[in-house]
Amino acid sequence: MTAYRGKTVVISGGSTGIGAAFAARFAREGARLALVARSQPKLELVAERLRREHGVEVHSHAEDLSLPGAGERVLKAVRALGWQCDVLVNNAGFATYGAFETQPLATLREELALNVGGLVELTHAFLPDLITRRGGVIHVASTAAFQPVPFMAVYGATKAFVLSFSEALWAENRARGVKVLALCPGATDTPFFERVGAEEAALGSRATPESVVEVAMKSFASNRSHVIAGLGNYWTAQANRFVSRELSARLTANLMKPRSTPALPEGSSR
């Protein structure tokens, strides 16, 4: 597999979970990588392993993507290496869980800023490269994008934004040869729910990050606007088309209602 050999791939939230799996997948194909997350030590552990195992260039850049101007700062860091971006993977994000009013407002604002603001900023910063190089962007959304998610209300709303935003950009840019994919996984075996403090919110069996990435890579190559990872997740998402939004919200509330009092999270990368 050499489709990405010598290409530059920028991955946010690249230190763990789905982001790290994307990094390994692209490294295996010979891409050079720019990995972005808040923790430089965690990033460098991933970067060193990929350099050793695949002999590729990997740059790690610590950045809080919830802060204004983060997209431009990441772009400058990539430019300083003499690189232009061929593929952008927007994976960084976190969730809060519990009754809406119990969540600190500062945490909710950070959730919005990272899941929506950081994703939009990075896409805006790198889209000119992607147009010039006929590349593409993969946005990690969620099956939460397809219905309201009581007790994870802000998270679900941010992922609905990501799905809608991705499909709009797909339509805007397809004639220019730029791929845009919204990847919608369900529960995945990553530190995501553990960090949220909501293991009970992980409904159903968990997919591996590697299997989710494989679904994304095939759909990205086919220039899909979105893909739901997992057959069960697909049918669950489709079922919401056949019931009222009120019923969908009530059913989801019954499934997601906390059975314990979760610790309030500080946030995490998916």
The residue annotated as part of the active site, out of 4, 97, 155, 234, is 155
Q: Quick check: 146 and 30 in contact, CB under 8 A?
A: no
pTM: 0.90
Mean pLDDT throughout 34-55?
A: 97
Strand partners, 228: 184
What pLDDT shows up at residue 259? 78
Question: Which of 90-99, 227-236, 249-258, 260-269 ranks highest by mean pLDDT?
Answer: 90-99
CA 225 to each of CA 141, 164, 220, 232, 233: distance values in angstroms, whole numbers, following the listed order: 12, 10, 8, 20, 17
Nearest to 162 by CA among 217, 102, 110, 90: 90
**Measured between alpha carbons, how far is 244 from 31 in angstroms, rounded to an integer?**
45
Q: Check if 155 is active-site.
A: yes
| Domain boundaries along the sequence of the chain | 8-256
Residue 91 has a CB neighbour count (10 Å cut-off) of 27
- Does domain 8-256 fall under CATH 3.40.50.720? My reply is yes
Instruction: Dig out the tokens for 6 from the structure.
Output: 């010598």
What pLDDT shows up at residue 240? 80
- The type of residue at 32 is R
Q: Can you give the three-state secondary structure of the chain, one letter per residue?
A: CCCCCCCEEEEECCCCHHHHHHHHHHHHCCCEEEEEECCHHHHHHHHHHHHHHHCCCEEEEECCCCCCCHHHHHHHHHHHCCCCCCEEEECCCCCCCCCHHHCCHHHHHHHHHHHHHHHHHHHHHHHHHHHHCCCEEEEECCHHHHCCCCCCHHHHHHHHHHHHHHHHHHHHHHHHCCEEEEEECCCECCCHHHHHCCHHHCCCCCECHHHHHHHHHHHHHCCCCEEECCHHHHHHHHHHHHCCHHHHHHHHHHHHCCCCCCCCCCCCCC
- Confidence band for 210, pLDDT divided at 50, 70 and 90: very high
Residue 36 has pLDDT above 70, yes or no: yes
Residue with the larger pLDDT of the pair 134 and 207: 134
φ, ψ dihedrals at 213, nearest 5° = -65, -40
**Measured between alpha carbons, how far is 111 from 51 in angstroms, rounded to an integer?**
32
What pLDDT shows up at residue 230? 83
What pLDDT shows up at residue 268? 41
